[in-house]
Amino acid sequence: MKIGFIGTGVMGNAICLNLLKAGHQLWVYNRTKSKTDNLVQKGATWCETPKAVAEQAEVTFSIVGFPQDVEQVYFGENGIFAADITGKYLVDMTTSKPLLAQKIYAEGEKLGAKVLDAPVSGGDLGAKNGTLTIMVGGDQAAYEDLKPVFNDFGKSVHYFGPAGSGQNTKMANQIMIAGTMTGMCEMLVYAKEAGLDLETVLETVGAGSAANWSLSNYGPRILKGDFAPGFFSKHFLKDLRIALDTAKEMNVNLPATEQAEKLYATLVDDKKLGDLGTQGLIKLWWK
C-alpha cells in the first residue's frame, strides 16, 4: 500500500520500520529531516511538506507532539488539507484533543477523505516490537479497510465509535497510567527509605496483585538510572491536561489525576526535565 507518515520521532520511526518490513511503500515527513534518514536508507521517500506526503499516499498517518502541531500538519498552508485527498484515508495517531479529532473529521469528510483518530499505547517497546494497542474513532468503514495495516504495527486494535472516541479512550488509558506511575514512584521511595533491596521489591511486587505495565517496564529502568524517553514526560503532562480539560467539560471530577498533573508539572515546568521519559518522575524524590 502507498502510505504517508508524518512525524518520525521515537514512536513514529519505529512504526515506520514495521510498515516497511510489511512491504508497504512509504513517503515520510518530519520537521527535523535527519530523523527520517534511517527510513530513507531503507527505501522510504522524503517529502518536503505534509501536503506532499498526502498527495503521494493512499493513507496518511500522523503522530506529532502537541495539538497545535496537529493543527499545523492538517490545516497549515502546506498541510494535509491543502492536498487533493478525495477518496484517501487520514489517520491521526497523536494523543490529542477529542474536539480537534472531530474538527479534522468534519473537514476531511467535506474534502472527500475518510478520517480516523487512532492514538496508541505501548511506548517505545510496543512501537519497536509491533505490539501497540490502537484505539480508533471515526469512519467505521475506514477502520475495517485499514485493519490489516494497523495489524502491521499493533497487537490490540479496537474501534470505539464516532470521531473523537479514539482520543477519549486514550484519555482513559492515560488516567490509568497516571495512577500506576505515581504509585510506582512512591512505592520505590518508601521501599528505599525502609532499607529494602529494590530489585527484590520490584520482583516481589510485580508477581502479586500490584503488578502493572509501568512497574515491570519502568521500574527496572529507574534502578539502572535509565531515563531515556520511551514516552516524554512533557507529552504525558500534555495528555493529563487534555484529560482534565475534557473531564471538566463533562463535569467529571478526577482528584487523583489532578495530583498526578501537579507532580508532572513540577517535573516538566519547574525542573525543566520534560525531555526525560515518564519514569523521570522519580527525580522529584531522588537526585
d(CA 185, CA 57): 43
What fold is seen in the domain 2-162? Rossmann fold (3.40.50)
pLDDT digits (tens, 9 = 90+) for 171-221: 999 999 999 999 999 999 999 999 999 999 999 999 999 999 999 999 999
Residue 3 backbone dihedrals phi, psi, to 5 degrees: -115, 135
Q: What's at 253, amino acid-wise?
A: N
Under the banding of pLDDT at 50, 70 and 90, the label for residue 123 is confident
Taking residues 243-269, what's their average pLDDT?
97
Average pLDDT for the chain: 97
Q: Is pLDDT of 287 > 90?
A: no
d(CA 239, CA 3): 27
Answer whether 0.85 is exceeded by the pTM.
Answer: yes
Q: Is pLDDT of 230 > 90?
A: no
Q: How many CA atoms lie within 13 A of 254 on its CB side?
A: 25
| Least confident interval from 118-122, 133-137, 227-231, 252-256 | 227-231
Angstrom distances, CA of residue 47 to CA of 32, 35, 37 = 12, 13, 12
- Cα angle 185, 175, 243; round to 5: 130
CATH superfamily of 169-284: N-(1-d-carboxylethyl)-l-norvaline Dehydrogenase; domain 2 (1.10.1040.10)
Closest CA to 55 of 90, 23, 96: 90
Q: Is pLDDT of 53 > 90?
A: yes
Q: Which of 88, 114, 128, 170 is labelled catalytic? A: 170
**170 has catalytic annotation:** yes
273's CB contacts (< 8 A; 6+ apart) are: 233, 267, 280, 283
The two domains 2-162 and 169-284 share their CATH topology (first three levels equal): no
CB 171 within 8 A of CB 257: no
Q: What is the model's pLDDT at position 36?
A: 95
Taking residues 34-63, what's their average pLDDT?
97
Q: Is 149 exposed, middle or buried (0-12, 13-18, 19+ CB in 10 A)?
A: buried
Q: Is pLDDT of 124 > 90?
A: no
d(CA 116, CA 101): 8
Q: What is the model's pLDDT at position 86?
A: 98
pLDDT digits (tens, 9 = 90+) for 146-160: 999 999 999 999 999
Distance of CA 117 to the CA centre of its chain: 12
CB 99 within 8 A of CB 122: no
Residue boundaries of the structural domains of the chain: 2-162, 169-284
Q: What is the model's pLDDT at position 98?
A: 97
